Amino acid sequence: MNQPELNRRRLLQAMAVSGAGSALLRRILADEVSLTGAVTSEAVAQAEWITGLKLTGPEREATATAMESVTDELRQIRSVPMGYDSPPAFRFDPEMADPAGRVRSLRKPAWLASAPSVSTAAGPDDPGSTAEPADQDPAFLTIRQLGRMLRTRQISAVALARFFLDRLRAFDPLLNCVVTLTEELAMEQAQAADCDFHTGRDRGPLQGIPWGAKDLIAVTRYPTSWGAPQFRSRILPETAAVARRMADAGAVLITKLSLGALAMGDHWYGGVTRNPWNPAQGSSGSSAGSAAAVAAGLLPVALGSETLGSIISPSRRCGTTALRPTFGRVSRHGCMPLSWTMDKIGPLARCIDDCGMVLGAVHGMDDLDPTTVDRWYEWPMAVDLSQIRVGQICNRDTTPADQIILELLRDRGAKIVPTELPDDLPEWSVTQMLDIEAAAIFQELLKAGDEEGLNQWPTTFRRSLFVSAVDYLQAARVRFELMKRMLRTFQDVDLYVGGDDLGITNLTGHPTVILPVASSHDTPPVQPLCGTITGRLYDESTLLATARIVEQAVHVNRVPPMFATSRPAPQPSDPDAS
């Protein structure tokens, strides 16, 4: 290889991590190096449109000279090997715009009171009730209902795990939601739970309860595929923090569940995960398998993740109840990183009470995830609606499901306050921070040309190479302004309903709960319609207690027709479900 070509290759590698490191800029400057052995002022002039600047002649000369030292420094940085689990030396703090919130979130709000009987006061048809249906079919029971059966010896933890494993086997050919059944581990954990019940040791409400993990949550002994063919057989050496905490609470992991490749959509290397209410349709993503399995009664609860809608979107599609916690509430250690400043882990379940119990098991500081904090949380809680202000968003559309929530809360004593979400900042443009962080995390795949089965990510990664470090930081500055705008919104309300706020709240870190409140009747097939409630940072207790009141007031069928029995379901008619 001649020296000019060697220089060209070295510059291509070095410029890949520079602030001006777009593919086009690197090619322009590298072509110049291959001809002249150096970056010239003419090369800078050809490439400066990438920066958005118009340089003078002396400025171009100075820039070309400066690149000589910069390329050497970048070459040294580039040579340092990085794993997928190596974060940068910064962290997002959702409370940075509200220092007083750090004090407020350490104590119980005045409108909350402990409510140990919150899940036993409802009637037998309520999803949070402990009263079991006459036939004792566990498929669509809640955690407390299943826990009562376990504690009264109506069923063993081993038998309960086998029951749900059988349902997963029976219905997965239709839904395509299972990546790996963790049967050996499930039997070990179920036997341990039965032993604890026998000896009188009770670890809490999750003891003996089967659950599923989105397959970006690492579990030793089993592959963690991230939904991508590149990782389908890879076994990670450490179990994720949330899986360890679920095990400590006595829960029984029975399956790893599908996600769209690298947490995009519902298409993964095994195909498309389907909506139990309409199997001709995809279940949305990226917590596709978590939502589909819970909605179909294939397991009581699952953990999913959200960066920009990946819990809320499949829950809305499949009609599940779910909680996306405040950023920093739950450790992401051992989970696939997509955006260091936006990733969150949360539960998808049969009712609000189930979400509250799971959050109680997994929340809290973890030294291995520097974004985590300890903030006050207790469940179950009862809320005095007369003491809280519920926002009705006036500058965005209100869905029929959200209107139902507002009317129910008004009828039960809450003060409904007209309010607005920030509309003077381009939140969806700021979400490019996610794409840029993801491009940094997965750059090795792009460099190797290993793009098989990654959905639209390769295009997104390449596009992100055109964004400078200065522009990324400018987006972060706009994000901080958005956080301050949301602080002003919460000066007028304690929570708000609806608002089509996925972009805003995933950037600011606010928690959201989604739950079914009605059924669609205008277009078949009939399925649940979900509304959302968003709360203050780290105030999941108020958020869940308020949603619990709504849940008790509505009566929504949560059983997809073809999943009411354990019989295998027919295949969908449309093999190209979206």
Q: Is 290 a catalytic residue?
A: no
305, 323 Cβ separation under 8 angstroms: no
State the DSSP H helix or E strand holding residue 528, giving kind and residue range, or none if neither.
strand 528-535
User: Residue 16 carries which side chain, given as an amino acid letter?
Assistant: A
Cα(415)–Cα(69) distance, rounded to whole angstroms? 63
Write down the catalytic residue from 286, 290, 315, 464.
286
Angular region, 214: left φ>0, alpha ψ -120 to 50, beta rest: beta
Q: How far does the chain reach from its first CA to its final CA, in angstroms?
A: 49
- How far is it, in rounded angstroms, from Cα 245 to Cα 247? 5
The DSSP string of 116-181 is TTTTTSS-TTSTT--PPPTT--GGG--HHHHHHHHHTTSS-HHHHHHHHHHHHHHHHHHH--EEEE
**CA angle, 574 as apex, 571 and 578 as ends, to 5°?**
115
Would you call 417 helix, strand, or coil by DSSP?
strand
Strand, coil or helix: 414: coil
Using CA atoms, how far apart are residues 555 and 124, in angstroms rounded to an integer?
12
- In the set 22, 34, 283, 310, the catalytic residue is 310
Q: Find the angle CA(134)-CA(135)-CA(141) to the nearest 5 degrees.
A: 90
Q: Is 415 a catalytic residue?
A: no
Q: What is the DSSP letter of 344?
A: E
The enclosing H or E element of 10 equals helix 3-15
Helix (H, G, I), strand (E, B) or coil at 391: strand
Assign 3-class secondary structure to 224-291: CCCCCHHHCCCECCCCCHHHHHHHHCCCEEEEEECCCCCCCCCEECCEECEECCEEEEECCCCCHHHH
Residue the block writes with tokens 């260091």: 340
| Contacts for 11 with CB less than 8 Å, ≥ 6 apart | 26, 29, 30, 33, 39, 71
Question: Cα Rg for the chain, rounded, in angstroms?
Answer: 25
**Residues 6 or more apart whose Cβ sits within 8 Å of residue 69:** none
Partners of residue 330 on adjacent β-strands: 363
For residue 501, give the nearest of 513, 515, 488, 518 by alpha carbon: 513
Whole-angstrom distance, CA of residue 26 vs CA of residue 21: 6
φ/ψ of 528, rounded to 5, equals -65, 150
Where are the alpha helices (H) located in 306-449, listed in sequence order?
312-318, 352-362, 400-411, 427-430, 432-441, 443-447
**From 119, 214, 284, 331, the catalytic residue:** 214
CB 282 within 8 A of CB 265: yes
Q: Does residue 136 contact residue 348 with C-beta atoms inside 8 Å?
A: no
Name the 3-class secondary structure at 302: strand
Q: Is 286 a catalytic residue?
A: yes
Q: Which residues are catalytic?
A: 214, 286, 310
